[in-house]
Amino acid sequence: MLIKSQDQCMQDLLSRELTPKGVFEGRRTALRKLANAGLILSATGSALNARAQSSSIAPGGGKLAPLVGAHSSVLGAVVMEKPTTYADASSYNNYYEFGTDKGDPVKNAHTLKISPWSIQIEGLVKKPMKITLEDLLKVHPMEERIYRMRCVEGWSMVIPWVGYSLSELINKVEPLGGAKFVEFVSMADPKTMPFVGSGILDWPYTEGLRMDEAMHPLTLLSFGMYGEVLPNQSGAPVRLVVPWKYGFKSAKSIVKIRFLEKMPATAWNKAAANEYGFYSNVNPNVDHPRWSQAGERRIGEDGLFAKKRKTLIFNGYEAQVGQLYAGMDLQKNF
């Protein structure tokens, strides 16, 4: 995991904005908004800059600055693997609201209306609030984090996200003592999302984390990837990224966050409880009932007949998150 300084990050966003090729008007406007929000922050972002003095490698043929002594603010979480290309990460997606084929979201998600946007925060918190996207962007300086992403289906990518730790937002709303779980609710608009209303899942798409998982610094509230605002198919304008769990835990296009005493139901758990547990930590030793989880196909890297990579426990983040599950039976709490 790499974390870039605020200034570097916004410089990259701005320089990308000046790139004429492949940058269409809608993205330019959105990008300008994100950059403006970031620039307001940069005056107060010096603490972060001191903590994470780093820049980043150029992922996926992008225009980012070369790596200069980068280090992570979460020790040991540096991913040295080659990032997936932007083309792959933005065209091979799971976003069932827009269809179930990997190529459906990129084709269909242009209808997603990402402005205006806000997240309703409610439940067991001292300060429930409806926070607009503009205010969300200002909660904390943006960081770039390069994470592995492992889908439960047996494929993986390496993606440079832009965002900040979800804990920064959680601290702002001051959870009450009784809050033990956090639920995330995705947008579900049948007018703009062709598969909402289909029987595939119980819409809206919902996910959940235990409070300590939600507060873990690796858990990212993401607004961008590859130095740009999120494309719609990747969960614009704001999504979760929980890198040690199967991809479906990382809910896209979030409109509501609820703090709860009890473990919430989740969309995939409701659809098939024996296949998709609440925890869904990446684990090569716990097979899916219908397939092995011991290996994975890295998108863009493997040919059709190439050998799979070995899947790592907690997706390679055991040093950071292993202690969250100390003493737990991971076969039972899958």
Q: What residues make contact with ligand MTE under the rule CB under 6 A? A: 93-97, 149, 151, 186, 205, 234-235, 247-248, 250-253
> Could you give the string, one character per residue 140-169, with x where binding to Mo ion holds by CB under 5 A and - elsewhere?
-----------x------------------
Q: Which of 248, 279, 314, 334 binds Mo ion (CB under 5 A)?
A: 248
Minimum Å gap between C-beta 246 and Mo ion is: 6
Amino acid at 79: V
Q: How far is the CB of 206 from ligand MTE (least distance, A)?
A: 9
Tokens 């990259």 — which residue?
A: 12
- Report what 97 binds from Mo ion, ligand MTE, none; CB cut-off 5-8 Å by kind: ligand MTE
Beta carbon of residue 149, minimum distance to ligand MTE (angstroms, whole number): 6
Q: Of the candidates 55, 50, 44, which has an alpha carbon nearest to the alpha carbon of residue 9?
A: 55
Cβ atoms of 225 and 250 closer than 8 Å: no
Nearer to Mo ion, 72 or 280 (CB): 280
Token digits of residue 329: 């039976």
For the CB of residue 20, give the shortest distance to ligand MTE in the complex, in Å: 26
- What DSSP assignment string belongs to 216-270? STT-EEEEEETTEEPPGGGT-S-EEE-TTB-GGGS-SSEEEEEEESSPPP-HHHH
Answer for the pair 104, 91: CB distance below 8 angstroms, yes or no.
no
Closest Cα partner for 203 from 122, 268, 109? Answer: 268
Among 60, 105, 141, 247, binds Mo ion (CB under 5 A): 247
DSSP strands (E only) in the chain: 118-123, 129-132, 143-150, 155-165, 181-186, 206-210, 220-225, 228-229, 239-241, 254-260, 295-298, 309-310
Q: Specify the residue, 216 or 252, whose C-beta has the smaller distance to ligand MTE.
A: 252
Q: Does the protein bind Mo ion through residue 204 (CB under 5 A)?
A: no
Q: Which of ligand MTE, Mo ion, none does 224 bind, CB closer than 5 to 8 A by kind? A: none
Q: Please check whether residue 123 is in contact with residue 143, taking contact to mean a CB–CB distance below 8 angstroms.
A: no
Of 48 and 162, which has the nearer Cβ to ligand MTE?
A: 162
Residue that the structure tokens 């809050």 belong to: 179
Report the nearest approach of ligand MTE to the CB of residue 96 (Å): 4
Smaller CB separation from Mo ion, 161 or 248: 248
Q: Which residues bind Mo ion (CB under 5 A)?
A: 94, 151, 247-248
